[in-house]
């Protein structure tokens, strides 16, 4: 039986080396095990948090302009970085994805997107705010190998590619593991795929446009300038609307071509990825060997499983979208790859369940719907556990309602537990052992906020940590490429 470093560390702490005696033996100063990690043994909260050893949680602070790495087992912040240090006025760290690391206390890389202030909740579109903030993607690195932990910028992906996108980021798994990272943006309706290098290279880029007259969706490959090798889409260039549609705001009037692309999620087994299109309630399934769209799933209840391709001309694929019965927000795969789940919201609040095992996505069928959310609660984000025994969802609500987190049984597609974790809940993730669910809430960017940890099986809330940073996302650093399948890859 093999044991990785993280399992070894957990085992060590659980077998007598831990405890007061061990702590006393260490004396004052840094633990010998890690360069700059607090040793909480002997402290009153140690018994409560020690079970989280091995879990480092990345927390982007949407309104603090920071990203921090939290050792959930101490708990303490290992390191933090303010993106204002990179020269940005009003930085808004938005979404995040972490590369796998066998020892996250020592080192790991992660990707971060940035969004300008005309963002959900804020919508500061008044003149003074129009030029603040920026669309950015960064590759970042945590270094815990010395006496001073650090988070630093490895590369400005937007500058390297000439394209600035500000919403979800996801890292390839399965057949796409250790190859690609995908960025998306709903103000520009674009997706960019790059390699994972420190000097990132463009692999493929997509743009989506709706024609409201013909009711057709155009999905196009877009190409960098041949002379520079880069796009000319930095900052606000290419922006269709100056603020991202607020949650549930898919009905808002916008540029007629706007479809609000939100994310790319990766199939864990097949060479496929999905472009999530909020406003059309659709997902473009793309073959990641050819990067060609192969199906357009329609996720609404009462709509067909797929909408037909009507033509392909050059690098543009055109689909007929004759009706849109509801928008969606996020959609993703279970780690087994057996199901593709789509969070329909606003006009229908349900979760569509497609079986996604067939290599031909045109054969994927909606088999069930998770229902019962009423008209005040929107299925929003999706969280997985490694063995796919449960699926977790964030169910968001407008003020004065809090929203909640729910657990769904994939055998019955029924909600079997739910938690009012606090106002304005956002993403779910799981600890590396799959035993606990982590989730953040931001108090509508000003009020009650923090991080909550839930036992995935007993349904007990086992920890609650405060945070003033207004978290819109978070991620637990996965321990392996297999572990990434239940992180920011298959779902967002």
Partner 1 sequence: MTENTEKRARTLIGAAKRRSGVFGAATFAGLLAFSLSQPALSAQEEGAFPTADEVGGDVFPDGLKAGDPFPTDIELYDANGKPVELAEQLDGKRSVLALFISAVPASVGELKALEKAVDTNSAQLLFLNTDQVGTALLGGDKIKETARTLRVIKHEEGLKSPMFVAPNNVFAPNGLSNRLGIRGLPTVVVVKADGTVENVFVGSQDWNKRKI
The residue ranges that bind partner 1 (CB under 8 A) are 117-118, 121-127, 212-213, 215, 239-243, 248-257, 279-281, 301-304, 306-308, 310, 320, 322-327, 345-349, 371, 374-376, 378, 397-401, 445
- Report the residue number, 369 or 481, with the smaller CB distance to partner 1: 369
The set of residues, in sequence order, having a beta carbon less than 8 Å from that of 127 and lying 6+ positions away, is none
Least separation in angstroms between CB 194 and partner 1? 27
Residues in the chain: 492
User: Least distance from C-beta 215 to partner 1, angstroms?
Assistant: 7
DSSP character at residue 163: B
Q: Provide the token pair at 130.
A: 């129009």
Cβ proximity of 474 and 451 under 8 Å: yes
Backbone angles phi, psi at 402, to 5 degrees: -80, -30
Sheet holding 56-60, edge to edge: 76-82, 66-71, 56-60, 475-476
Q: How far is the CB of 209 from partner 1 (least distance, A)?
A: 11
Q: Are 351 and 367 in contact (CB under 8 A)?
A: no
Q: What is the DSSP string of 333-349?
A: E-TTSSEEEEEE-SSS-
CB of 422 to partner 1, least distance (A): 16
Provide, rounded to whole angstroms, the least separation between the CB of residue 474 and partner 1: 22
Shortest distance in whole angstroms from residue 346 CB to partner 1:
5
User: How far is residue 61's CA from residue 446's CA, in Å, rounded to a whole number?
Assistant: 12
Task: Retrieve residue 22's tokens.
Answer: 């061990």
Decide whether 86 or 249 has the Cβ nearer to partner 1.
249
Minimal CA–CA distance to 56: which of 91, 92, 9, 23?
Answer: 9
Output the smallest distance, CB 101 to partner 1, in A: 36
Question: Which is nearer to partner 1, 201 or 376 (by Cβ)?
Answer: 376
- Write down the least CB distance from residue 469 to partner 1, Å: 15
Name the residue nearer to partner 1 (CB basis): 126 or 147: 126
Is 30 or 251 the residue whose CB approaches partner 1 more closely?
251
> Which residue's CB is nearer to partner 1, number 52 or number 121?
121
Nearer to partner 1, 53 or 366 (CB): 366
Nearer to partner 1, 365 or 464 (CB): 365
- Encode burial over 264-302: b for 16+ CB neighbours within 10 A, e otherwise: bbbbbbbbbbbbbbbbbbbbbbbbbeeeebbbbbbbbee
């Amino acid at each position: 039986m093999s044991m990785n470093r993280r399992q070894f560390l957990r085992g060590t702490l659980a077998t007598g080396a831990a405890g007061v005696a061990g702590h006393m033996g260490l004396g004052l100063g840094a633990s010998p095990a890690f360069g700059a990690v607090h040793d909480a043994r002997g402290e009153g909260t140690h018994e409560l948090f020690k079970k989280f050893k091995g879990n480092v949680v990345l927390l982007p602070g949407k309104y603090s302009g920071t990203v921090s790495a939290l050792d959930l087992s101490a708990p303490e912040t290992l390191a933090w970085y303010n993106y204002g240090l990179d020269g940005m006025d009003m930085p808004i760290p938005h979404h995040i994805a972490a590369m796998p690391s066998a020892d996250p206390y020592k080192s790991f890389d992660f990707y971060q997107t940035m969004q300008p202030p005309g963002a959900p909740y804020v919508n500061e579109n008044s003149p003074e705010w129009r030029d603040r903030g920026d669309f950015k993607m960064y590759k970042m690195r945590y270094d815990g190998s010395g006496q001073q932990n650090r988070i630093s910028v490895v590369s400005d992906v937007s500058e390297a590619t000439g394209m600035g996108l500000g919403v979800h980021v996801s890292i390839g798994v399965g057949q796409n593991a250790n190859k690609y990272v995908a960025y998306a943006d709903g103000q520009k309706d674009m997706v960019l795929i790059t390699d994972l290098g420190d000097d990132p290279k463009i692999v493929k880029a997509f743009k989506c446009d709706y024609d409201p007259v013909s009711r057709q969706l155009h999905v196009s490959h877009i190409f960098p300038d041949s002379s520079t090798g880069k796009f000319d889409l930095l900052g606000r260039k290419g922006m269709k609307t100056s603020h991202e549609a607020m949650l549930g705001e898919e009905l808002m009037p916008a540029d007629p071509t706007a479809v609000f692309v939100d994310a790319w999620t990766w199939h864990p087994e097949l060479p496929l990825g999905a472009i999530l299109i909020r406003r059309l309630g659709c997902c473009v399934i793309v073959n990641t060997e050819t990067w060609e769209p192969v199906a357009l799933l329609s996720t609404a209840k009462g709509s067909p499983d797929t909408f037909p391709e009507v033509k392909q001309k050059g690098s543009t694929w055109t689909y007929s979208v004759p009706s849109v019965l509801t928008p969606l927000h996020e959609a993703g795969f279970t780690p087994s790859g057996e199901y593709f789940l789509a969070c329909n919201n606003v006009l229908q609040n349900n979760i569509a369940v497609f079986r996604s095992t067939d290599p031909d996505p045109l054969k994927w069928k909606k088999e069930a719907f998770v229902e019962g959310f009423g008209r005040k609660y929107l299925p929003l984000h999706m969280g997985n556990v490694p063995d796919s025994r449960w699926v977790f969802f964030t169910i968001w609500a407008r003020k004065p309602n809090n929203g909640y987190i729910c657990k769904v049984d994939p055998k019955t597609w029924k909600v079997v537990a739910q938690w009012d974790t606090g106002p304005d809940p956002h993403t779910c993730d799981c600890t590396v052992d799959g035993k606990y669910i982590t989730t953040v809430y931001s108090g509508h960017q000003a009020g009650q906020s923090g991080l909550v940890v839930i036992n995935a099986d007993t349904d007990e809330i086992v920890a609650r940590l405060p945070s003033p940073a207004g978290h819109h996302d978070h991620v637990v650093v996965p321990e392996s490429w297999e572990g990434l399948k239940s992180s920011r890859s298959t779902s967002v």
